[in-house]
């Protein structure tokens, strides 16, 4: 976790499963109206969450992070 | 373009369209058996392509980059 970001990394056995997770995460982000940065690579998905408007963290960030954990 | 990566950035009007592009790009990567790093954020998709095995560029990288351009 950096000063004003939530950062997480999730591991997967291949690219396909990482891509699937990215899609489901993207759907959650759309539903929440709160959009993370997602870094998709072979076997992993990196996630950075923060609130652009204040360049810091709000409740929405923690909700999205918790939903990402649950999805995983 | 860095020394041994191909780098591109694609712009979109919203998160949804950037997510859709990521999915289609992921499908191309799977079909090619060659996987880029994809950085998805609101309204943009960043792409880094290189060949891990040689930590440099091969023909596969340029093919994937051309297919990404075509897709866009």
DSSP secondary structure letters along A20-53: HHHHHHHHHHHHHT---EEEEETTEEEEEE-BTT
CA distance B63 to B55: 17
Residue A16 sits at the chain B interface (C-beta within 8 Å): yes
- A69: phi then psi, degrees, rounded to nearest 5: -60, -45
Give the confidence band of A52 by pLDDT, cuts at 50, 70, 90: confident
Residues forming beta bridges with residue A59, ordered by sequence position = none
Per CB-CB distance under 8 Å, the chain A contacts of B60 are: none
Q: H helices of chain B, where? A: 15-32, 59-71
Of B16, B30, B38, the CB nearest to A40: B38
Contact at CB, A41 and B40, closer than 8 angstroms:
no
* H or E stretch at A69: helix A59-71
CA distance B34 to B60: 7
Beta carbons of B47 and B37 less than 8 angstroms apart: yes
CA distance B57 to B70: 20
Which pLDDT value is given to residue A27? 96
Closest-CA residue of B relative to A37 is B41
Chains A–B, number of C-beta pairs less than 8 Å apart: 46
CA distance A34 to A29: 5
Which pLDDT value is given to residue A3? 61
Counting residues of chain A whose pLDDT is more than 70, the rounded percentage is 96
Q: Which of A18-22, A68-72, B16-20, B51-55 has the lowest mean pLDDT?
A: B51-55
Of A22, A29, A41, the CB nearest to B15: A29
Which pLDDT value is given to residue A19? 98
- Find the distance separating the first CA and the last CA of chain B, reported in whole Å: 18
Residue B14 sits at the chain A interface (C-beta within 8 Å): no
- B 31-50: CB under 8 A from A: 35, 37-42
In tens, the pLDDT along B10-66 reads: 999 999 999 999 999 999 999 999 999 999 999 999 999 999 888 899 999 999 999
CA distance A30 to A26: 6
* Structure tokens given for A66: 């918790």
């Amino acid at each position: 976790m950096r000063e004003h970001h939530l950062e997480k990394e999730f591991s997967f056995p291949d690219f396909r499963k990482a891509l699937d997770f990215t899609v489901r995460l993207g759907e959650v982000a759309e539903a929440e109206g709160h959009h993370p940065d997602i870094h998709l690579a072979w076997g992993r998905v990196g996630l950075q969450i923060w609130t652009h408007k204040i360049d810091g963290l709000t409740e929405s960030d923690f909700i999205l992070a918790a939903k990402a954990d649950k999805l995983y």
